[in-house]
Structure 1
């Protein structure tokens, strides 16, 4: 296994620690592994998660994962549409609108939310660097 250090905003870590305290995941590391595996499985149909107990964690954290809503829109499609809109707002330096979109579509503890916030943070950092 490869060890990787990832920095998250304090608010994100607080939400993950709440999940640990509630017993929904055993540790921050487990949540982070799950978030990566889940995201990869959402964007690549051929990806097979390798994490032990992946299905159990997924069912606990994302109970509607993979289910279509009443209108026939899949959870995957919603995520990809949201990611595209977040990117569009971020490229235009409209970070507040991007954050609002993420907040209206996903719970703060949803791995998809965390991934989109990380995506947005990358654009924000790039914008800050180009201002200097």
Structure 2
């Protein structure tokens, strides 16, 4: 049969989470400087992250501020060094796991098209917003 491939948009919170997760695997450390290490990793891997169109043209200086906003706004996911009486500029993951995989439910019948994916994505966003665990996407 025919195959259909559609890349789901990645959110800022997942980009930051993925960067810290990869850094922990790469360096065997728990905490990283947000500007010099986390933001730098994101900048170095920006093309590979394949961010949504709205984020692709974001300037490097804007990314730095967005990374800090995401870290500060998602305390259930990220831990600041201040919590362990260290520098406030270092951050790590509360739980060393990769970012959660987005859940999407496909229809059992009929062809899968760009339009059907957009409809499903919009429907999933509406239901997820009511019981969101992390804020600041």
* Alignment TM-score > 0.5, same fold: no
Between Structure 1 and Structure 2, the one with more strand by share is 2
TM-score (norm 2): 0.26
Larger Rg: 2
TM-score (norm 1): 0.27
Kindly indicate whether structure 1 or structure 2 has the higher relative contact order, using CA contacts under 8 Å at least 6 residues apart: 2
Between Structure 1 and Structure 2, the one with more helix by share is 1
